[in-house]
Amino acid sequence: MDKLTLHSPDLTQRNLEALAALFPTVVTESRDADGNVVRAVDLDLLRQELADHVVEGPQERYQLDWPGKRAALFAANAPIAKTLRPVREESIDFDTTRNLFIEGDNLDALKLLQESYLGKVKLIYIDPPYNTGNDFIYNDDFAQTTAEYLTRSGQVDEQGNRLVANTESKGRFHSDWLSMMYPRLKLARNLLAMDGVMLISIDDTEVANLREIGDEVFGRRNLVTQIAHKARASISNDKIVSENHNHILLYARDFDTLFARRAMIGLAPDLEGFSNPDNDPRGPWRPAPVDGPGGARKGNPYFEFLGVEGYFRFSRETMEQKYADGLIVKTGNGLQQKYFLSQAMGSRKTATSWWDDGGLTSTATRRLSALMDGPTFDTPKPVELVRKMLELFTYDQPEAIVLDFFAGSATTAHAVLEANSADRARRSFIMVQLAEPCDPLSDAAAAGYASIADIAKERIRRAGRKIIEESGEAASGLDTGFRSLRIDTTNFADVRRTPGEVQQDQLDLFADSVKEGRTGEDLLFEVLLDWGLELTLPIRAEMIDDKQVLTAGEDDIIACFDDGVTPAVVRAIAERQPLRAVFRDSGFASDAERINAEQVFREVSPVTDVKAI
């Protein structure tokens, strides 16, 4: 039995565990007074986590370090004044779909998703740019102005997203890549559910470094395994050993929570060969061996049963009980036991760390070209690879949210649609892809695609149509749409001025804080982000007293952003008793009108949280 400790709790250890849960990156190793290696808190990193600027002060410790690491941590924590704007014309089934496609820098996207999807994502898969020296990586130097950056790099895309080539000659070949990945992994971890997993494809160049920062961000104990994925069948002669696999690092958000549902993690069992020739009330079955492999060498008992002699898996008493229960049958292969379909359905085969059934890159490229009527994207990941991940980790979670913030050609979205079509689940995806311009000389550009994001969105459209065509009536209720959103600057103008800075004839300019050209739907999405609501809530628009009223969800939010909000509009919204109501501050003719609106809600729907923007 357990013994009483007979001393007060170790508060230091408790505090250390609490900090490790909140900030796993600050937990490191140090030596105590006796020279023993113990867990400790990196106070410098903790200071950085709690600071709104880059904190200096390194000291010797066991950790992966590189020039720019502190700036990368700051980049993860730095707030941004941006939002997500809906793009209906690029969407499919905008009003009803549960899928999202976000166009823009994934660091911004991950920050914008922090409130709405905190702890909700079941599976994250990313295939980030490999550090070849030719790929472009994201540059997150917030200390530079746009002019300074353009002077330094001369590269920027149409939306102003900053890109920088990472070449071997820079002298920061690994550092720049790590600085790009580190803040994104930190933010992604926050989005995972406690039983969620993150899988990252990578090659030999950065796998060691990626594993180091993955261990730091997730905690070493949450590394489940490092998978080898056979991605290439051909053999090249330009290396001493030809590499025909990539690595996939698999991290759990919390290993213990994931381990608790291990019975439902794994590959689907083989369901072939089941029948019910004897009308067993327990359902279809197939014969399974009762003979003991290895015979005497394995210590299996030897005896005669029903006229058959041999080494058996079970004792005579167990065999007799199984026979009495109708579980032992005599067939042309001797004695067999019944293995029921119900048993098979409830079991999952443990996967191994060697995946040679996840599809080849060459096959994936051909299939994508066939779908897109020509070559559009180099070296896409196979749909089969992501489907295997979905089968392993979302089998028992039919409404799992799946995130890929390096979407590329949207293989992950394609895999989610196919998996849902196969097992009738309702998984949803969130894809994030930078609008990286296509090479002007590429086949994709010749086909009319301006950016990688455009290729990805068109792939999802075509994959959805193909799945519906092939499924026929079975496609009823299948969600093959997506809600297209684009990262943009906040909808609200920066009108912060001291009284002395504003002239009397300028007052009207600052009466309305909403930027020109922004729609009510633009404002609604920024409100959803601010309130931490999911961005796939169904949206309805209606006219009340000639004013547009927007509803998200089942009256989760009702909003009216029009000018000249009337008492009739306010009362109509209040009578529906929404959880939240929001208006444009300048939409009321006077302060008295706004105060009257508040009074209406206090009387008619006191439970409604009323806000003005």
Residues 293-305 pLDDT 10s: 776 677 889 999 9
For residues 174 and 94, the model is more confident at 94
Answer whether residue 503 shows pLDDT above 50: no
Buried b (16+ CB within 10 A) or exposed e, 488-527: beebbeeeeeeeeeeeeeeeeeeebbbeeebbbbbbbbbb
Which of 68-72, 123-127, 491-495 tops mean pLDDT?
A: 123-127
What backbone torsions phi and psi does residue 523 show, to the nearest 5 degrees? -65, -40
Encoding tokens for residue 489? 């600057």
Q: What is the pLDDT of residue 85?
A: 97
As a whole number, mean pLDDT of residues 543-563 equals 95
Helix (H) or strand (E) holding 528: helix 520-531
Q: What is the DSSP letter of 326?
A: T
As a whole number, mean pLDDT of residues 514-539 equals 94
Question: How far is residue 131's CA from residue 135's CA, in Å, rounded to a whole number?
Answer: 7
Q: What is the pLDDT of residue 140?
A: 65
As a whole number, mean pLDDT of residues 184-188 equals 96
pLDDT tens figures, 90-136: 999 999 999 999 999 999 999 999 999 999 999 999 999 988 766 55
Q: What is the pLDDT of residue 269?
A: 78
**pLDDT, mean over the chain:** 86
Distance from the first to the final alpha carbon of the chain: 61
Give me the count of residues in the chain. Answer: 613
Question: How far is residue 217's CA from residue 211's CA, in Å, rounded to a whole number?
Answer: 10
Which residue do the tokens 């920050």 mark?
Answer: 111
Helix (H) or strand (E) holding 466: helix 452-471
Q: What is the pLDDT of residue 171?
A: 56
Helix (H) or strand (E) holding 48: helix 43-49
List all residues 6 or more positions away from 458 whose beta carbon is below 8 Å from its beta carbon. 372, 449
Question: How far is residue 396's CA from residue 318's CA, in Å, rounded to a whole number?
Answer: 33
Helix (H) or strand (E) holding 302: strand 302-305
List all residues 6 or more positions away from 352 whose beta carbon is below 8 Å from its beta carbon. none
For residues 504 and 172, the model is more confident at 172
Percent of the chain with pLDDT over 90: 61
Cα dist from 368 to 312, 361, 406, 429, whole Å: 52, 10, 17, 19
Which residue do the tokens 């550009």 mark?
Answer: 445
Answer whether residue 320 shows pLDDT above 50: yes
In this structure, which long-range contacts are made by residues 21-27, counting pairs with CB atoms below 8 Å and at least 24 apart in sequence?
A: 23/49, 24/216, 24/217, 24/218, 24/219, 25/49, 25/73, 25/186, 25/216, 25/217, 27/219
Percent of the chain with pLDDT over 70: 84
As a whole number, mean pLDDT of residues 348-372 equals 93
3-state SS, one letter per residue, for 348-384: CECCCCEECCCCCHHHHHHHHHHHCCCCCCCCCCCHH
Q: Is the dihedral of CA 587, 589, 595, 599 positive or negative?
A: negative
Answer whether residue 82 shows pLDDT above 70: yes
Q: Shortest CA distance to 86 belongs to which of 568, 537, 582, 583?
A: 537
Question: How far is residue 464's CA from residue 473's CA, in Å, rounded to a whole number?
Answer: 14
Q: What is the pLDDT of residue 168?
A: 59
Helix (H) or strand (E) holding 152: helix 146-153
Encoding tokens for residue 609? 């949280």
Residue 20: count other Cβ atoms within 10 Å of its Cβ: 16
As a whole number, mean pLDDT of residues 550-555 equals 94
Answer whether residue 506 shows pLDDT above 50: no
Q: What is the pLDDT of residue 39?
A: 75
Range of weakest confidence among 30-44, 258-272, 465-479, 557-571: 30-44
Range of weakest confidence among 21-30, 179-188, 393-402, 523-532: 21-30
Question: How far is residue 28's CA from residue 42's CA, in Å, rounded to a whole number?
Answer: 6
Range of weakest confidence among 224-233, 242-251, 270-279, 413-422: 270-279
What backbone torsions phi and psi does residue 365 show, to the nearest 5 degrees? -65, -45
Which domains does the chain show, CATH number per domain? 11-63 (no CATH), 77-267+349-488 (3.40.50.150), 285-345 (no CATH), 497-612 (no CATH)
Answer whether residue 226 shows pLDDT above 70: yes
As a whole number, mean pLDDT of residues 142-165 equals 45
Q: What is the pLDDT of residue 151?
A: 37
Question: How far is residue 460's CA from residue 454's CA, in Å, rounded to a whole number?
Answer: 10
